Amino acid sequence: MSSDGDTSAPDDPPARGFVFPTDFPIKIMGPNRLEFEPQMIAIVRSHAPDLDVSTVEVRQSRAGKYLSVTVTIRAQSRTQLDAIYLELTRHPWVKVVL
């Protein structure tokens, strides 16, 4: 840890507006499929093993065609967040990650 309290890894690009570690919500949207929620949780958990599933929120679209899964992680670095977003956006079911 540097003297300024920055806990990001030395190779992390500067994270404007973020001080790590921090609680960080990630919203994932995709089709309303039985397997969608567990697969998204598995992806996030592979990068954030301490994910508390009690923080997961799932909502269905008005017409019931889509789901949004919001997970809140204790983000450790910008590199960790980038890796999560990259893997999620590569998944064929994922329409949007916020």
Coil, strand or helix at 90: helix
* CATH number for the domain harbouring residue 58: 3.30.70.260
24 Cβ contact list (under 8 Å, min separation 6) = 72, 73, 74, 75, 81
% of the chain surpassing 90 pLDDT: 82
Running DSSP on this structure, what letter comes out for residue 77?
-
Domain assignment present for 28? yes
Enter the pTM of the model.
0.82
What is the predicted pLDDT for the residue at 91?
98
Domain assignment present for 93? yes
Domain extent, residue 33, equals 22-97
What is the predicted pLDDT for the residue at 14?
55
**Longest distance between any two alpha carbons in the chain, whole Å:** 52
Task: Report the domain count for the chain.
Answer: 1
Domain assignment present for 40? yes
Domain assignment present for 75? yes
| Mean pLDDT in consecutive groups of 10 residues from the start of the chain, 98 residues | 48 70 97 98 98 96 98 97 98 98
